[in-house]
Amino acid sequence: MEEKRIKTKEELRDWLDYELRRFPKHGRHRIYNLLLLSENAILRRHQILLRKTEYYINSGHRLLSKIYRLRLALYQIKYGMHIPPNVFGRGLVVMHAGQIHINDRTRAGENCIIHVNTSLVAGGFNDEVPRIGNGVVFFIGAVVAGDVHIADNVVIGANSVVIRSIEEENVTAAGSPAKIVSRKGRLEMRKRNWERTENT
Residues 6+ apart with CB under 8 A from 124: 145, 146
Domain ranges of the chain: 1-80, 87-200
Does 79 score more than 50 pLDDT? yes
Per-residue confidence (pLDDT) for residue 1, from 0 to 100? 58
**Element (DSSP H or E) covering residue 155:** strand 155-156
CATH topology for 87-200 is UDP N-Acetylglucosamine Acyltransferase; domain 1 (2.160.10)
Average pLDDT over residues 106-134: 94
Query: pLDDT per residue over 42-64, tens digit each?
Result: 999 999 999 999 999 999 999 99
The answer to whether 169 touches 149, Cβ cutoff 8 Å, is no
Gyration radius from the chain CA atoms: 17
Calpha distance 141→98 (Å, rounded): 11
